[in-house]
Amino acid sequence: MAYVAIADRDHEHELHDPHTFITKYVWSQDHKVIAIQYSLTAIFVGVIALLLSGMMRLQLAFPDSFSFIAPQDYYQFVTIHGMIMVIYLLTALFLGGFGNYLIPLMCGSRDMVFPFMNMLSYWVYLLSVIILLTSFFVPGGPTGAGWTLYPPQAVMQGTPGSSWGIILMLVSLGVFIVAFTMGGLNYVTTVLQARCKGMTLMRMPLSVWGIFIATILGLLAFPALLVSAIMMTLDATIGTSFFMPAVLEAGMQNDHEGGSPILFQHLFWFFGHPEVYIVALPAFGLVSDILACHARKNIFGYRQMVWAIVAIGGLSFIVWAHHMYVSGMDPYFGFFFATTTLIIAVPTAIKVYNWVLTLYEGDIHLRVPMLFCIGFIFTFIHGGLTGLFLGNVVVDLPLSDTYFVVGHFHMVMGVSPVLVVFAAIYHWYPKITGKMYNETMGKWHFWFTFLGAYSIYLPMHYLGILGVPRRYFSYGPTEFIPESAQAMNVGITYSALFVAAAQILFFVNMFMSLRGKKSDPNPWGATTLEWRTPQHPPKHGNWGPSLPTVYRWAYDYSVPGAAKDFISQDEPAAPGAEGFDPEHPNG
Amino acid sequence: MSILGKLAEKSWLTPSAAGDGVDMNTGPEPAAKTALALFIAVLTSIFFLFAVGYRMRMHQPDWEAISDPGLLWINSVALVLASVCMHFARKSALSGDIRGVRYALTLAGALSIAFLVGQFAAWGILRESGLYAVQSPATAFFMLLTGIHALHLFGGLVVWARAAARAWQGIEVKRIRLSVELCTTYWHFLLLVWYVFFTLLLLT
Ligand code: HEM
Ligand SMILES: [Cu+2]
């Protein structure tokens, strides 16, 4: 029997076209609707996490002035803020949101290969979010163990939420991982099996590459979190001692003996480091495509960019212990991990050079998405450089657990990916909604966010060098922390509140523009397939009666001799549209 | 083309003919197989990390080895036989013999259920010998490893039950071939995992 690709069963698709409101927008199996559901949910929890961080900043700037922020509240805010931002916002938004929307459209498929499982993935994700938020309403509140959930303190009395909160947290993570796995199997299989004719691996836009490799990282790394969550749940409920050592708790020996907290740290960071690249790689991919498009130039070193993504993905599994230098380890062990950590900076640096070289002599249009991408290059270089400091054991020891680390990871994994999220939303908003937003408002949003974020995180590096420790409720009179540090904290808080308020511009813009002016089907003159759908915005099944055929890579911008300054991937080679060979620019 | 060859493609050199260099094989069959292969990779990661945790926890001073119930040997034989039956079910499915599929598939499931019952009995034996206490890390790990493995086999049995029911309903062989092939791969994988875990438990 000859196989008929799922993607080619046109007539069946007609039959299954959803007709009621419920099948169209609620229990939808359309990847675009699922993508929007994922994104809106992620952004919703992201806003909660943002509010939590505002509360933390209030406490840090004005200690003891707010009756509604007790020490245990502060720890709960820190924990839930971090957890939401890393997992429930960024991971879900990049993979469940952008991955879902872009993979089928950019690869020229009708949908994900398993649409039902894709739908299930979103609803299970929503369940994990609900479980997480429920923990605010249980006795003792959510866990206050820090997003790293280190035992033994995570499950000991005295840590906020050590009875209910931590269990709900672990269960919620387990449920999230199930959701992610269902989605992830879909994304990878779709990329491998459902590309349209002519779409070779190396003709895929870098966005797809970034999301694809990040998903593989997630599939292999989330198990480590799952394993540690299962073992910690057992420790906390039935009293096993996988991670829990014997500890004196209020003068009494607890029921545990011999468990290894270090074992937890290894498992956690075996997940935790790849996780930072699960967030970074999709951002790398999206930035590459948006930069090339708005600079009207092919991406510099396409193959290197792909290889670097793959190399970073592989290396990210052998650097995890750089988070554990202060936990004590064999010096050779530390040497090994410092070396791998520095090696991973090489492919990362290659990517940065290539972005900059893509801009070089480009026909740069400083539109809103482009501004955000350029902002990303700044913050990412900044965070990458401080990462190099921390990767060296001797430099890390005094800096670990200070605000230097907070500055580092917010630059590299907070601000940078969020700038890319904004860039991507501004770039694809016309595609998703068919409407154009207000560009002036978008530009104000960029400058407020970019400069504001810098003024939050840059000073933190100085605090860290002074030795100000992270995760403290208040410092009181501490000898090595000068008065001026407190002044700086006040400044940081003002910036933070300002940046948070500036996001209102974004929401207002996005919301009002839904009824705004119609956009062009391809307003930026982009080459990739998602701009070539017969309807705008694309309908169920994406491509109308027949799938596109791809004839070229995704970066034929400003091809000499061509009629337009871009050639879409599905335009056949014709005289004057042969494409541009960057190795022989003069023909 | 090898994967390295694919990654070396100079995709900016626009080929002359439409769709040159297509390198995918579409269709529901390979998609399901790819997804299962990926899922097995995920499970390998999970099982591997449990095993690593076990090895690391062993080195703590409070570790006391336990003697594993002899019943595990019998259970292991049952699981091997289940895998063999799955293998025959697959062979029959590929050669279009629906009766072969029915019997081999049913037998494979029955043996797997026997394995699960046996594992449960092994827990009982541990409990009676007084080693059940959760405070003993070796016992806790024994339960954890066997439990996680059993849970995955149970998940497989849910899929198996559907496939077996369809086989007995007199469905065409080719419509059930894919399910049987996927079950077989999954069973062989879980057998392998069991042998690694069992060796680990025996050695320590
Ligand atoms: C050149 C690249 C990088 C190097 C060398 C590097 C190095 C390090 C080191 C050594 C630490 C541990 C600091 C400590 O706790 O004492 C750290 C923390 C961290 N890094 Fe990076 N990093 C790099 C890039 C990134 C990227 C790309 C991300 C995310 C997208 C990231 C996210 C984080 C996070 C979240 C933490 C803190 C985790 C915590 O303790 O809560 N890093 N980095
Ligand atoms: Cu790391």
Q: How far apart are CA A71 and CA A66, in angstroms?
A: 11
- A46: exposed, middle or buried (Cβ count in 10 Å: 0-12, 13-18, 19+): buried
CATH of the domain at A211: 1.20.210.10
Question: Do the Cβ atoms of A200 and B12 come within 8 Å?
Answer: no
| Mean pLDDT across B152-157 | 97
Domain with A516, as residue range(s), is: 22-244+258-532
- pLDDT attached to residue A18: 65
Number of domain units in chain A: 1
Asked whether residue A40 is domain-assigned, the answer is yes
Nearest by CB to B26, from A5, A185, A555: name it.
Answer: A5
Q: Is the distance from CB of A267 to CB of A242 less than 8 angstroms?
A: no
If you count residue pairs, one on A and one on B, with CB atoms under 8 Å apart, how many are there? 175
Select the residue from B1, B4, B7, B14 to test the A interface by mutation, using most A Cβ atoms within 10 A.
B14
Q: What is the DSSP letter of A553?
A: -
Asked whether residue A421 is domain-assigned, the answer is yes
CA A387 → CA A332, A380, A392, distances in Å? 20, 10, 9
Q: How far is A277 from chain B (nearest CA, A)?
A: 18
DSSP bridge partners of A435: A518
Q: Is the distance from CB of A209 to CB of A169 less than 8 angstroms?
A: no
- Token pair, residue A501, equals 């308020």
Spatial neighbors of A401 by CB under 8 A, at least 6 apart, are A326, A469, A470, A471
Residue of A nearest to B51 (CA): A227
Q: How far is B160 from chain A (nearest CA, A)?
A: 19
Asked whether residue A565 is domain-assigned, the answer is no
Q: What's the mean pLDDT when you consider all of chain B?
A: 88
User: Ligand 1 test: best mutation among A284, A409, A421, A471, most atoms within 8 Å of CB?
Assistant: A409
CA of B71 to the centre of ligand 2 (A): 45
In the block, tokens 């829990």 appear at A244
Q: What percent of chain B is modeled with pLDDT above 70?
A: 89
Q: Domain B32-57+71-203 carries which CATH code?
A: 1.20.120.80
Q: How far apart are CA A545 and CA A529, in angstroms?
A: 16
Residues from chain B contacting residue A6 (CB–CB below 8 Å): 26-28, 31
Q: How many CA atoms lie within 13 A of A335 on its CB side?
A: 3
pLDDT in tens, chain A (587 residues): 233 344 444 444 444 566 677 777 788 999 999 999 999 999 999 999 999 999 999 999 999 888 889 999 999 999 999 999 999 999 999 999 999 999 999 999 999 999 999 999 999 999 999 999 999 999 999 999 999 999 999 998 889 999 899 999 999 999 999 999 999 999 999 999 889 888 989 999 999 999 999 999 999 999 999 999 999 999 999 888 899 988 887 777 877 888 899 999 999 999 999 999 999 999 999 999 999 999 999 999 999 999 999 999 999 999 999 999 999 888 899 999 999 999 999 999 999 999 999 999 999 999 999 999 999 999 999 999 999 999 999 999 999 999 999 999 999 999 999 999 999 999 999 999 999 999 999 999 999 999 999 999 999 999 999 999 999 998 888 888 988 999 999 999 999 999 999 999 999 999 999 998 999 999 999 999 999 999 989 999 999 888 898 988 999 999 888 888 999 999 887 665 566 677 776 65
- pLDDT attached to residue A586: 60
Q: How far apart are CA A580 and CA A559, in angstroms?
A: 5
Angle between helical axes of A368-391 and A331-359 (0-180°, round to 10): 160
Question: Do the Cβ atoms of B46 and A226 come within 8 Å?
Answer: yes
Asked whether residue A184 is domain-assigned, the answer is yes
pLDDT digits (tens, 9 = 90+) for B171-194: 888 888 999 999 999 999 999 999
User: Ligand 1 test: best mutation among A405, A416, A468, most atoms within 8 Å of CB?
Assistant: A405
Q: What is the DSSP letter of A249?
A: E
Residue ranges covered by each domain of chain B? 32-57+71-203
Nearest by CB to B14, from A238, A578, A583: name it.
Answer: A578
Q: How far apart are CA A124 and CA A173, in angstroms?
A: 11
DSSP bridge partners of A248: A253
CA of A408 to the centre of ligand 1 (A): 7
Q: How far is A118 from chain B (nearest CA, A)?
A: 13
CA B157 → CA A476, A522, A523, B161, distances in Å? 60, 50, 52, 6
Nearest by CB to B11, from A186, A259, A553: name it.
Answer: A553
Q: How far apart are CA A493 and CA A531, in angstroms?
A: 42
Asked whether residue A577 is domain-assigned, the answer is no
- pLDDT attached to residue A229: 97
Confidence of residue B131 (pLDDT cuts 50, 70, 90): low
Asked whether residue A557 is domain-assigned, the answer is no
- Pocket of ligand 1, beta carbon within 6 A: A 148, 276, 279-280, 322-323, 341, 345, 348, 384, 387-388, 390-391, 396, 400, 405, 408-409, 412-413
Asked whether residue A555 is domain-assigned, the answer is no
